[in-house]
Amino acid sequence: MLDFYIIKEEQITPNSPTGLEFIGQLDDNTFRNLKTKGIIDKSYDYYSDFRWNSKTILQIRQNSTKSSIQEDTDIKLLNQLLDLAENRKSGIIAFTD
pLDDT single digits (tens) 9-68? 999 999 999 999 999 999 999 999 999 999 999 999 999 999 999 999 999 999 888 756
- Is 21 a member of any domain? no
pLDDT of residue 97: 82
Task: Report the C-alpha gap between 86 and 92 in whole angstroms.
Answer: 10
- Is 6 a member of any domain? no
Question: Mean pLDDT over residues 73-97, rounded?
Answer: 94
Confidence of residue 70 (pLDDT cuts 50, 70, 90): low
- Is 4 a member of any domain? no
- Is 18 a member of any domain? no
- Is 54 a member of any domain? yes
- Is 33 a member of any domain? yes
Task: Report the C-alpha gap between 93 and 90 in whole angstroms.
Answer: 10
For residue 63, give its domain range: 27-96
Task: Report the C-alpha gap between 27 and 86 in whole angstroms.
Answer: 22
Domain total for the chain? Answer: 1
Task: Report the C-alpha gap between 23 and 88 in whole angstroms.
Answer: 11
